Amino acid sequence: MKKSRNLLYSFLGAGLLIFGGCQVTEESHGTLKVSITDAPFPIEIIEEANVTITKVEVRMKSDTSDATFTTLMEESRDINLLDLRNGVVSELLEMEMPAGTYDLIRVYVENASLKIIDGETYEVKVPSGSQTGIKIFIQPELRIEGGLTSEVLLDFNLEKSFVVRGNPMTPAGIKGFNFKPVIRAVNNSTAGSVEGMVSDTASAVLANAAVWIAQDSTIASAFTDSTGYYAIPGIPEGFYSLYSSKENYDTVMYENVEIVAGNRIDMDFVLTPTE
């Protein structure tokens, strides 16, 4: 049975939302929301993936070199990215902002760690995210308009951000992780989403099947939950290829999948065993 999900697209989380508008005047303000979500890691071995965000800033676009940042949040927030799978987002904040065009978000991360199922917790060094912030360009740029609300979704790519040292498939096991945060910031006002189910040819649901959407290169990804359900939010409108695969199954691809701003499309996969 297909699961319904209420996808909250709000500004400031651990994968974020932003809104945008018109020329700036003293009385012209709109609302900005930022939220966070997770493009997942191989979840069968991970129990928790935690990050601590201490500050978030946004930059108003300027034709000069004196573009200014506005602080949106300045308090410590602990987030388990595994709680943000399959279209679930966490709202970081919502606030009034001057109308105008915003092109960049800066996220300050102080701590990060991974807890292995039935294993230890690995603390990872944050390269410079707590001092200078992680700079993420908003794609496409966000316009905040007077009296309206706009959204930016920050999609935290767990798989690329936590790089395993060692080999979890050998007796020597995991030696630790390196942390190289990879986050995309999507103007959710121009984005849509895709969701669906993955099963096999015997109609049995497939958990932990990989699903990803690409346009020349991978844009975003997901793993199915225990019911075979997946969801990928925050996809800019356009045409894409959509894939699903799992070990011991053939990869299935759909071409020319159209994503429409503000719309959700349903795409189910049936995977064939390789043996």
Say what the pLDDT of residue 70 is: 93
Kindly report the pTM of this predicted structure.
0.75
Average pLDDT on 68-85 reads: 90
Say what the pLDDT of residue 130 is: 64
Distance CA 8, CA 105 (A): 19
Alpha-carbon distance values, 123 to 113, 155, 162, 244 (Å) = 4, 21, 11, 32
Take residue 215 and report the two structure tokens written for it. 């346009």
Alpha-carbon distance values, 265 to 227, 257, 260 (Å) = 19, 9, 9
The CATH code of domain 20-271 reads 2.60.40.10
Question: How many CB atoms within 10 Å of residue 69?
Answer: 14
Q: How confident is the model at residue 31 (pLDDT cuts 50, 70, 90)?
A: confident
Is the model's pLDDT at 202 over the cut of 80?
yes
Query: Comparing 31-35, 48-52, 270-274, which segment has the lowest mean pLDDT?
Result: 31-35
Residues whose CB is less than 8 angstroms from the CB of residue 85 and which lie 6 or more positions away in sequence, other chains included: 38, 40, 43, 222, 223, 225
Using a CB cutoff of 8 Å and minimum separation of 24, what contacts does 162-170 make? 162/41, 162/49, 162/112, 162/114, 162/124, 168/45
Domain regions of the chain by residue span: 20-271
Query: Comparing 13-17, 22-26, 72-76, which segment has the lowest mean pLDDT?
Result: 13-17
Say what the pLDDT of residue 24 is: 40
Average pLDDT on 202-218 reads: 92
pLDDT > 70 in the chain, percent: 85
Residues whose CB is less than 8 angstroms from the CB of residue 26 and which lie 6 or more positions away in sequence, other chains included: none
Take residue 33 and report the two structure tokens written for it. 């929301």
